[in-house]
Structure 1
Amino acid sequence: MSTPFSLLMPVYRGDDATHFAKAFTSSVGDQTARPAQVVLVQDGPVGDDLAAAIDRVVAESPVPVTRHVIDENVGLARALEAGLGRCEHEIVARMDADDISLPERFARQLPVIEGGVDLVGTGMFEFLDDGGAIVARRTPRTGHDEISRYARFHDPFSHPTVMYRRAAVERAGGYQPLGLMEDYWLFARMIHAGASVENLAEPLVMYRVGAGAYARRGGRAQWRSELELQRALRRIRFTSRWEYLRNVTVRGAYRFVPERVRKVAYRRLIAGGGSTD
C-alpha cells in the first residue's frame, strides 16, 4: 500500500462556494490515490454559501476531515502553519480552494516522495474562470540542480501543486508571513536548508485564472512584497549581491508595466515554471 498522506487545504471568505466544492472533490473523491486525512483550515468567518459548501463536503468526504476554524482572518501563511500542525502524516499535499486536481495527481507525486525527495511540484494547465477553456500550459523546470539554480530568480514551484515532507518544511522554519510571497519564501528556505526537490513536467493541476488575475500582480503593494522578499533572500545568502540587484530591477519593474505586458512577462519570466505553451 502507498504511504498515507495528509491533504492541507485553506479556505477563506473570498473563495467561491462552487469552486471550493470542485477543488475538494477533485483532490479527494476523484483521486486514484486518496489522502488518508484532509486538514481543512477555515481562515476567519465565511459567508452562508461557503459555510454550507464546507459542511456538505465534510459530511460527504470519503476520508476523515480535520476542520480547523480560526476566528479571525490571519492570512495564508499563518493559516497553513496552523493546519500543518494538525496534519497526522509526514507527507503532506497542498491544494487551493479554487483549482482542480487531475485524478492521477497524487498517484504520480507520491512515488517521487517515497523515493526520497522532500518536495515535488507538477506542471499546470491554466483555465478560464468563465467557461473552463484551457489557455496555457505551464511546464516547470525539473531536476534538483536546475530547480535550485532557477530559484534564484523565479519561484520554481506552483504552490497548489506541491507535495512535501513535513519535517523538511519544519527544518526550514515553516510557513512565515512575507507580504504576498510566503510560498516562494518557504521553497527558497527549503532549498537553502538542503531539501531534495523535484518537479513533474506533466500538468496535474488545473489552475483557475479569473478576471483581474494579472492586474493584481502589479502595483505598489506587490512591489513592496517583492522588495521584502528579495531582501529576505539576500539576508539568508540564498542570492548573491548581483542576483539581488538583478531581481529587484527586473522583477520590480514587472510590477509597474501595463497589464497586457505583465500577462506575457508573467508567463515567460516570473511564473513558477520553465515555459508556457
Structure 2
Amino acid sequence: MPEPFSVLLPVYRGDDAGFFERAITSVTRDQELRPDELVVVVDGPVPAPIAAVLRRTEAGELTAGVPVRVVALPTNLGLAGALQAGLAACRHEVVARADADDVSLPQRFARQVPLMADVDLLSSAVVEFEADEAQPGLQRAWPADPEEIARLARLADPFNHPSVVYRRSAVAAAGGYQHLARLEDYWLFVRMLHAGARVTNAAEPLVLYRVGAGAYRRRGGWELFRSELVLQGRMLRLGFTTPAQFARNLVVRGVWRFVPPALRRPAYAAFTRWRDA
C-alpha cells in the first residue's frame, strides 16, 4: 500500500476562481489514488469568487470525500511563506504540490506516490496548455537518473515544481522554503540535493501546466534577474557550483531573463530538444 499523503495547494487574490476550482477537482475527485487530505493555504484576503470556491471545497462539494484543511493567512506572505505555513499544517510525511491554475491528470498520484518508497523528492514531466486542456503544447521533461539530475541542477531547475512530491522531513532538513522571488522552488531543490536527498523524475507527463497570457513574459525582466543574481551567489557560497559554473550561469541565465517574450517560448523549446538529443 502507498504511504498516506497530503496535497498542498496555495491560492491568493491574483488567481482565477475557475482555474482554482478545476485544480481542486483534479487533485481530489478525479484522482485514481485520492489523497488522504488536501491542505489549501489562502495567502491573504481573496475576492468573493475564490472565497466561494473555498466554501464549496470545505463543504465537500468538489472533493469526493477527501478531507480538507484550510490555512487562512491574515496577510499575503508570498509563495515561500505560504508553502511553509502549509507544510506545517500537513499531517503526512509525503506531500504532493499543486498550483491553483494547473491540472493534475487522473493517474498522477497513482504513479508518483508508490515511487516515494525509495526517494525524498521527485517530479514528473508536464505538458503546457493555454485555454483548452485537450490541446496540449510543449512537453517539459527532466532526467530520472540522480546523477544526471545533479549535473543539470548546476545550470537549471531539474524538477517541475507543479508536479513535485516530497518528504516533509527532507524539506525541513534542507531549511524549508526561503523567499527568493519566483525562484523559491529551485533554491529549495538545490539545498535538498546538497543535503543528500534521494531524487528521481517520472518521464510520464502527469500535470497540465497552464501557460496563459503573460506566462513566458513573467520568466524575464529585472525582478527575476535580481533574484537570479542572488540565487547564483547562494549556490556558489553553498559549494553547489564552482566559480566557473557561477560565471557561466550569470551569462547564460542572466541573458535569458532579457530575451524578448515573443522569442522565449521557441528558445525554450529549442533548448529542450537540444537537452534531450
User: What is the TM-score of this pair, normalised by structure 1?
Assistant: 0.95
Code of the aligned partner of 1:235 = R
Asked whether the 8 Å contact 1:251–1:270 carries over to 2, the reply is: no
1:267 Cα deviation after fit? 3.7
2:258 matched residue in structure 1: 256
Give deviations 1:141-164, integer Å, cap 9, x for gaps: 111111011100010001010101
Q: How many residues align?
A: 274
Asked whether the 8 Å contact 1:41–1:67 carries over to 2, the reply is: yes
2:74 aligned with 1:71: yes
- Structure 2 counterpart SS, 1:207: strand
2:93 matched residue in structure 1: 90
1:55 matched residue in structure 2: 55
2:22 matched residue in structure 1: 22
1:131 Cα deviation after fit? 6.9
Cα–Cα, structure 1 residues 72 and 267, in superposed 2: closer, same or farther, change >3 Å?
farther
- Structure 1 counterpart SS, 2:100: coil
Equivalent residues in 2 for 1:106-255, closer than 5 Å: 106-114=109-117, 116-129=118-131, 133-255=135-257
2:11 aligned with 1:8: no
Code of the aligned partner of 2:29 = G
Asked whether the 8 Å contact 1:129–1:211 carries over to 2, the reply is: no
1:261 Cα deviation after fit? 2.1
Cα–Cα, structure 1 residues 234 and 16, in superposed 2: closer, same or farther, change >3 Å?
same
- Structure 2 counterpart SS, 1:2: coil
Asked whether the 8 Å contact 1:141–1:274 carries over to 2, the reply is: no
Separation in 2 of the partners of 1:78 and 1:131?
30
Separation in 1 of the partners of 2:250 and 2:156?
12
Code of the aligned partner of 1:17 = A
1:104 matched residue in structure 2: 107
Cα–Cα, structure 1 residues 131 and 28, in superposed 2: closer, same or farther, change >3 Å?
closer
1:31 matched residue in structure 2: 31
Cα–Cα, structure 1 residues 63 and 255, in superposed 2: closer, same or farther, change >3 Å?
same
Code of the aligned partner of 2:22 = K
Asked whether the 8 Å contact 1:130–1:210 carries over to 2, the reply is: no
Give deviations 1:5-36, integer Å, cap 9, x for gaps: 01101000011111001101000111111110
Q: List gaps (5 residues or longer) in structure 2.
A: none
- Structure 2 counterpart SS, 1:85: helix
- Structure 2 counterpart SS, 1:242: helix
Of stretches 58-67 and 160-169 in structure 1, the one that deviates more from structure 2 is 58-67
Asked whether the 8 Å contact 1:26–1:102 carries over to 2, the reply is: yes
Q: List gaps (5 residues or longer) in structure 1.
A: none
- Structure 1 counterpart SS, 2:33: coil
Asked whether the 8 Å contact 1:19–1:99 carries over to 2, the reply is: yes
User: What is the TM-score of this pair, normalised by structure 2?
Assistant: 0.95
Give deviations 1:216-245, integer Å, cap 9, x for gaps: 111111110111111111110111110100
Code of the aligned partner of 2:232 = Q
1:69 Cα deviation after fit? 0.4
Code of the aligned partner of 1:81 = Q
2:42 matched residue in structure 1: 42
